[in-house]
Structure 1
Amino acid sequence: MKPLLLLLTLMTFAVQAGLITEERRYEVNGKTYRGYLALDDAAPAPLPGVLVVHEWWGHNDYVRERARMLAELGYAAFAIDMYGDGKTATHPDQAGAFAKASLASLPEAEQRFNAALALLAADSRVDGSRLAAIGYCYGGGVALHMARAGAQLQAVASFHGSLAPKADPLPAHSPVAIAVFNGAADPLVPAEQVTAFREEMMNANADHLLVNYEGALHAFTNPDADRTAAEFGLPLAYNQAADRDSWQRLQTFLKEKLEPENESAQ
């Protein structure tokens, strides 16, 4: 069943010269979701599009900042809402409940993701044939699941996200290129999961990149991780070196997979 998508409102405001953001409220099967589009209005259109999936905390300032960072690189970046009405959590118990509820029905979770992807692809400023998705923590697991589920994407990247399949593993000869940036010391992604992911990618003959950052813990890209770890006793830590390196590698990855000149050279 295809998701019922209805665009409700569109609000635009300038952030800096060339860079604009648009908050979009839309409906999927009668429920309201809040997305956040960022792009450089001075960049030559149509732009490649990138969905950005939030951490288990929900659609907060962090995921919007990542969308703006992608916009500065020349992408139309859409920070999506997997929980509904843009809600966010302030406590790990609440975040865990939100995340669990959002994935209780994988078909419904896929509808929410695909609705946001369709909204991005339909934008006149976006090239719907050049689409990617990236995600952080919870969002990384969602992005990987959508690659496994056959979403219409050219590339997917996960930052400190779960690597275990939520349903079927990646099918053989999947056209989606996959990049994973993982903390080697992350107890939430044990070594056995990393090994199983490598085997899954090899069995599928997948175009993939796996980078394990020695000593990096969960949420290594988020500067607020240390504060959150201290407040709630969680195994999190910001790692500036891993954050910078993974972001640089993401730029190379997206350029290789989404730039038209690279496609024509193959």
Structure 2
Amino acid sequence: MKRALIALFSLVTAMTGAAIVEKPVEYKAGDVLCEGWQAYDDALEGKRPSVLIVHQWTGVSDNEKMRAKMLAELGYNVFVVDVYGKGIRPKPPESAKEAGKYKADRPLLRDRVNAGLKVLNKDPRTDTSKVACIGYCFGGLAAIELGRSGAPIKGIISFHGSLDSPNPEDGKKIKAKVLVLHGADDPFVTAENMAAFQKEMKDHGVDYKLVEYPGAVHAFTQVAAGNDNSKGAAYNEAADKASWEEMKTFFGRIFAE
């Protein structure tokens, strides 16, 4: 029966020409030319809930494009923001320096993510009342900074992201619900960072949830990180799958409101 259903779906897709559309999108963030990535299901009509993805420290990569496609297959209109600018795709250790520029200048980081949000919101497929932002590692921090900028979005998800803030008072600007998916053994987020983040959320009445995955370290959704936890960053299949399901449940809740 399952094979028959798959065959029928494939036939319908072929007959209608339906497919996941994936394409680069150039846009400007101020005077800077950026190149993001869009994914959506062209079999769907009309507006739909939409998701902005913020990349890890190496810039827009195949990993974010893969996640964009996975989300598009769930029915979302998806845009991957380019924080760094077109063609700036640094490899470690240069990526740490590039990410550091934006971590040290939170207003600039917020401007770059908000520029991507504008692109997503202008797309005719986007239901602007149902938009969320997710991010990986550096992107997790950037997603939270989007919330701290006061952006009118429904939800924020950080996958193994940094949680520090130079100005915790900015937490009062967060309008979205926040979900933090964190490796319980992540050495790059200190106990002090975690405590300060939770205090920021509680002090400003932010609706947030923290999920910690035992045995997971930093970058637990990144296959390219390898499997050696002693390096502080490693892939964890169980945490990857569980966090994706947690994300889907979160979206189901916030977009139904």
Does structure 1 conserve the Cα–Cα contact (< 8 Å) formed by 2:171 and 2:200? no
> How far off is 1:34 after superposition?
0.4
Q: Counterpart of 1:12?
A: none
Counterpart of 1:196 in structure 2 is 196
More helix by share: 2
Cα separation, 1, equivalents of 2:244 and 2:184:
17
| Superposition TM-score, scaled by structure 2 size | 0.87
TM-score, normalised to structure 1, is 0.85
Match of 1:4 in 2: none
- The residue correspondences of 1:100-119 to structure 2 (distance < 5 A) are 100-119=100-119
1:1-266 paired onto structure 2 within 5 Å: 17-91=18-92, 93-172=93-172, 174-226=174-226, 234-258=231-255, 262-263=256-257
Deviations 1:115-168 (A, max 9, x none): 110111011111112111000000000111111221121100001001111433
Q: Which residue identity lines up with residue 198 of structure 2 in the other structure? A: R
Deviation beyond 4 Å, 4+ runs, structure 1: none
Aligned equivalents of 1:217 and 1:245: distance in 2? Answer: 14
1:205 is displaced (CA, Å) by 1.8
Provide the rounded CA distance (Å) in 1 between the counterparts of 2:24 and 2:103: 24
* Matched residue type, 1:248: E
Cα distance in 2 between the residues matched to 1:240 and 1:28: 35
Indicate conservation of the 8 Å contact 1:24/1:36, yes or no.
yes
TM-fit CA distance, 1:170: 4.8
Once residues 60 and 174 of structure 1 are traced to their aligned partners in structure 2, the CA distance between those partners, rounded to angstroms, is 28
Moved more, 94-103 or 211-220: 94-103
Number of positions where the alignment pairs a residue of Structure 1 with one of Structure 2: 241
Q: Which moved more, 1:234-243 or 1:134-143?
A: 234-243
8 Å CA contact retained: 1:157, 1:178:
yes
Gaps of 5+ in 2: 1-16
Distance (Å, rounded) in 1 between the aligned partners of 2:87 and 2:210: 31
| 1:116–1:172 Cα change, 3 Å | closer
Query: Could you say if the C-alpha distance between residues 88 and 126 of structure 1 is closer, same or farther in structure 2, counting changes exceeding 3 Å?
Result: same
Question: Cα RMSD between the aligned structures?
Answer: 1.9
Change (3 A) 1:160 1:169: farther
